Amino acid sequence: MASAPSDRGPVRGRVDAEGRLVSADPDLLRLQEAAGSSLGAPLALPQLAAVVRSAFKLGVPLSRSVIAASADQDFDLWVRAEPDAEGADFSIEGWKSRPPAPPRLTLVGSEPAAAETVAAQSHEFTVDVGLKIAAVDAALAARLGVSESESVGQPLTRFFMLVDDGDGQMPLLTALGGRQDFEGQQATLRSDPNVRVTLSGTAKQAATGRFEGFEGHVDFGGAEGPGEAPGLFDPALDEALRSPLDRIIAAADRIVDRTDGPLRSEYAAYAGDISAAGRHLLSVIRVMTEQPGGDVDRIDLALSVAEAVQLVQARADERDIAIAVAGGASPMPAHAEARATVQILVNIIGNAIRHSPEKTAISIHLETSGGKARVTVGDQGPGIDPADQQRIFERYERVGDAPVGTGLGLAIARRLARSMGGDIELHSARGEGARFTLVLASA
């Protein structure tokens, strides 16, 4: 069994350019061997290896909190990696052991646990800048199934699964990036997803004005009842997708904010793209599980088009496909829900990219007439037979025998458009390309 280091000094190691562990202090080597590997073999601790690999690839020092595991323990580690031309040195500090985490998912199709009715009650907590618990009250610790001392140092998200506010936003993560107060962060208990809570908090500041975390409270206000309409995903799969996306977005936001130290601007920009894409995927998951969408509001359709193009530009570049936008220089107000509109446009434009020949162009035209705001996406693909033009809007339906795509994009897009009082129109003929038009009420 791997154990925590007996002294307080850092545990050190080194990997070569191929990711092989070429030197290691005894405690690190024991973890490597517990994972079924050895000195001279690839570093077998996934999160640790990812930090070291990223530092070597980017050519900059990186520091991260990671989790490693032996057969009967988990370890919270703080890792700093220093790359050079031949590999990377790394050190591990803050080595804390704890019992292994319970299974994250129930089996698909298993019987759901009975909903627990919880009387409304508020509990206090304090977290640091990394959202690690500094203190909780005794009653909250009991609710979480740990002692007060056992909770200290654990990530808040070890006990709570954060839920977005309906458009992919997390109030807690937004507040963390802005060093500001937050409220209304919805979450569920990881130990019992039927129990829903609301987190709120006040930003803490040192006398010097430095941000030091949050003082917050958890409101237990009851559980979700059974009998909700089934979605495209089993709830277990929904959680499986949301959890890593939450972590990806949080990590990307830390990079953008340069929380872990200076970083070249282009890397911070890449992280901003990752964060935006992650939030878009969260909105996709929300729709596929058929959770209620956000409220219809006044939006600028031109800005929605610009955001959607940014999200699909990399796919277009891979196939040398140009995207030309006409009519988007001026604001185009429309009545819609912002995240749903971007998702519709991403699905339509992505569909055009997928079915367009390489080195061709996709046109996007915006116009307002007759009280309607329209965005038309045209491609130079093979076109769609009239007999298929309704079928492709059904779930899991695809035109032709191309192996890519799930057959969900257009079905989701039309359902979203109609939920906002709009629609998607299709004009096409075999061999003449296709034009999909999003129609919304103008504002």
Taking a C-beta distance cutoff of 8 angstroms, is the pair 159, 189 a contact?
yes
Tell me phi and psi for residue 423, to 5 degrees. Answer: -165, 175
Q: Whole-angstrom Cα distance, residue 176 to residue 182?
A: 9
Q: Whole-angstrom Cα distance, residue 146 to residue 158?
A: 12
What six digits make up the tokens of 287? Answer: 């729709």
Q: Which residues contact 269 (CB under 8 A, 6 or more apart)?
A: none
Per-residue pLDDT of the chain (443 residues; tens, 9 = 90+): 444 444 456 899 999 998 899 999 998 888 888 777 889 988 888 778 888 888 888 888 888 877 776 656 677 788 899 999 999 999 998 777 766 544 433 333 333 333 333 344 568 899 998 899 998 888 888 888 888 888 888 999 888 888 876 666 788 888 888 888 888 888 888 877 778 889 999 988 887 888 889 999 898 864 343 334 344 445 555 555 666 777 777 777 777 666 555 556 566 666 766 776 776 666 666 655 554 445 678 899 999 999 888 888 888 888 899 999 988 778 899 999 888 898 889 889 988 998 899 999 999 999 999 999 999 999 998 888 787 767 677 654 445 544 444 446 677 788 888 888 899 999 988 888 899 999 999 98
The enclosing H or E element of 46 equals helix 46-58
CB count within 10 Å of CB 366 equals: 21
Supply the pLDDT for residue 72.
Answer: 62
**Beta partners for residue 11, in sequence order:** 92
What is the CA 66 to chain-centroid distance, rounded? 18
What six digits make up the tokens of 112? Answer: 């759901």
Q: Whole-angstrom Cα distance, residue 277 to residue 310?
A: 10
| Furthest C-alpha separation in the chain | 76
Supply the pLDDT for residue 14.
Answer: 95
Written as one string, the DSSP assignment of 209-277 is --EEEEEEEEEEEEEPPS-PPP-SS-HHHHHHHHHHHHHHHHHHHHHHHTTTS---HHHHHHHHHHHHH
Instruction: Show the domains of the chain with their CATH numbers.
Output: 11-98 (3.30.450.20), 121-288 (3.30.450.20), 297-442 (3.30.565.10)
Please measure the distance between the N-terminal and C-terminal CA atoms of the chain and give it in whole angstroms: 65
Q: Which residues contact 234 (CB under 8 A, 6 or more apart)?
A: 108, 109
The answer to whether the pTM exceeds 0.85 is no
The enclosing H or E element of 342 equals helix 338-355
What six digits make up the tokens of 152? Answer: 């200290």
Q: Whole-angstrom Cα distance, residue 395 to residue 232?
A: 10
Written as one string, the DSSP assignment of 162-207 is EE--SSS--HHHHHHHHT--EEEEEEEESS-TTEEEEEEEEEEE-T
What six digits make up the tokens of 105? Answer: 């998912």
Q: Whole-angstrom Cα distance, residue 288 to residue 281?
A: 10
Question: Pairing mode, if any, of strands 62-69 and 74-84?
Answer: antiparallel
Q: Whole-angstrom Cα distance, residue 106 to residue 237?
A: 9
Q: Whole-angstrom Cα distance, residue 218 to residue 151?
A: 15
The enclosing H or E element of 68 equals strand 62-69
